[in-house]
Amino acid sequence: MTSNRAVVYQGPGVVEVVDTAYPTFELKDGPGVNPANVGRKVPHGVILRTVTTNICGSDQHMVRGRTTAPVGLILGHEITGEVVEVGPDVEVLQVGDIVSVPFNIACGRCRNCKTGKTGICLNVNPDRPGSAYGYVDMGGWVGGQAEYVLVPYADWNALKFPDRDQALEKILDLTMLSDIFPTGFHGAVTAGVGVGSTVYVAGAGPVGLAAAASAQLLGAAVVVVGDLNEDRLKQARSFGCETIDVGAGSVPEQLVALLGVPEVDAAIDAVGFEARSQGHGADAAEAPATVLNALMQATAAGGAIGIPGLYVTDDPGAVDLAAKVGALSLGLGTGWAKSLSFTTGQCPVMKYNRQLMMAILHDRVQIAKAVNATPIPLEDAPRGYSEFDAGAATKYVLNPNGYLPH
């Protein structure tokens, strides 16, 4: 039998690369697998030899111990791979195809999937709508930071690249289609970004940078990115964004210096529940609602806020009892008085990934350059997690099977 290696969560702050089982067309019991999914047959699936699989900020929340993720969970929901086996019910995909896999798993059959709400599929997670690979409380589908991975409902979920050679040539861009590029784009779309918009993006991590690049692709007049990390702000400036250091003063005050007014047309929260208050070092205390409240202040009346940043219902490391169950102290009165719109939740990747693929293939966007995509071997995943957690302005791309040069 073919061997397999995977990145596994071993407790707060610890990930290891270990030997693991080669995937089969049936969900087996294991860390994080929902008991109701054990034994679930997957004749509609394919097995991929992983071409690229990326380290995501959402993975970091688990690795920091900020979720109820169990020890032994195989991580990874950003997957691009080559089909090496097809299940008996697969009709379209063939061995040798290279595909992008949306991080949210969808059946293509339920009411939500049929209306394009693939981030909240009703059939893949027994506990709640929505599912993902290698993620806590998401049904127990095995993660893709591995040499091989199973993809269910593959004809529906997988996006096939039209030309193998072209795909491998642009793979550092195309690997972003599994999550952060559509997620950032979703944030920009739901914030109402269009031609001539002024946009503020909170957070200069990979999703924030992807949101900024997406806003530019949508025709924004100016994109301002805010963060506490100067290296990440420098990365935002590298592709034409304005930046503000949120530790140097309030967002509205700094917007005045850049735009002449204290508000923008559209705002995007690319930070999520581990947000920190204005200030640096010891002064930058965790304040999970601070970004959302700042965005309500900084968004013009009648505007919209896209919220691709992750918020959770169970955070054992939260700063207070309310935040431990996802209850945040929001200034909703400000949002109501200004008639602001809010969009939250998982990005429905399939709504955008084909269009963004075409933008990449026809050189309309350079998303890998925007997020500073850097390939590393699978065995270097612990280093990638550590450096990313320390604030590296880098999107680490794991290369389990040698498709990419290092």
**How would residue 286 be classed by pLDDT, with cut points 50, 70 and 90?**
confident
Helix (H, G, I), strand (E, B) or coil at 264: strand
Cα Rg, the chain, nearest whole Å: 20
Distance CA 311, CA 88 (A): 38
Tokens of 118: 């693939």
Distance CA 367, CA 373 (A): 8
* pLDDT, position 284: 66
Distance CA 153, CA 41 (A): 11
Is the pLDDT assigned to residue 224 strictly greater than 80? yes
Is the pLDDT assigned to residue 281 strictly greater than 50? no
* pLDDT, position 311: 86
Contacts of 145 (CB under 8 A, 6+ apart): 6, 7, 53, 55, 59, 74, 75, 76, 134, 378, 381, 398, 400
Partners of 54 in the beta sheet? 397
* Mean pLDDT across 23-46: 93
- pLDDT, the chain, mean: 93
Pairing assessment for the beta strands 98-101 and 79-86 based on DSSP bridges:
antiparallel
Helix (H, G, I), strand (E, B) or coil at 379: helix
Residue, of 325 and 164, whose pLDDT is higher: 164
With contact defined as beta carbons under 8 Å apart, do 386 and 396 qualify? no
* Mean pLDDT across 49-71: 91
DSSP result, 184-239: HHHHHHHTT--TT-EEEEE--SHHHHHHHHHHHHTT-SEEEEEES-HHHHHHHHTT
* pLDDT, position 282: 42
Distance CA 191, CA 288 (A): 20
* Mean pLDDT across 61-71: 88
With contact defined as beta carbons under 8 Å apart, do 46 and 151 qualify? yes
How much of the chain, in percent, has pLDDT values that exceed 70?
98
* pLDDT, position 312: 77
With contact defined as beta carbons under 8 Å apart, do 107 and 156 qualify? yes
| pLDDT tens-digit series, residues 371-398 | 999 999 999 999 999 999 999 999 999 9
Distance CA 398, CA 363 (A): 23
**How would residue 90 be classed by pLDDT, with cut points 50, 70 and 90?**
very high
* pLDDT, position 163: 96
Question: Class of the 183-343 domain?
Answer: alpha beta
Give the residue range(s) of CATH 3.40.50.720 domains in the chain. Answer: 183-343
Pairing assessment for the beta strands 222-227 and 148-151 based on DSSP bridges:
unpaired
Listed range (71-80, 178-187, 269-278) with the worst mean pLDDT: 269-278
Is the pLDDT assigned to residue 277 strictly greater than 80? no
| pLDDT tens-digit series, residues 324-362 | 787 888 899 999 999 999 999 999 999 999 999 999 999
With contact defined as beta carbons under 8 Å apart, do 54 and 114 qualify? no
* Angle (nearest 5°) at CA 145 between 143 and 146: 95
Tokens of 401: 């099977």
Tokens 């581990």 map to which residue? 274
* pLDDT, position 280: 44
Give the residue range(s) of CATH 3.90.180.10 domains in the chain. Answer: 5-179+348-399
* Mean pLDDT across 58-66: 88
Fold of domain 5-179+348-399: Quinone Oxidoreductase; Chain A, domain 1 (3.90.180)
CA 182 to the chain's CA centroid: 8
Is the pLDDT assigned to residue 197 strictly greater than 70? yes
**50 sits in which H/E element:** strand 46-54
| pLDDT tens-digit series, residues 179-189 | 999 999 999 99
Is the pLDDT assigned to residue 278 strictly greater than 60? no
* pLDDT, position 275: 76
With contact defined as beta carbons under 8 Å apart, do 348 and 340 qualify? no
Residue, of 315 and 215, whose pLDDT is higher: 215
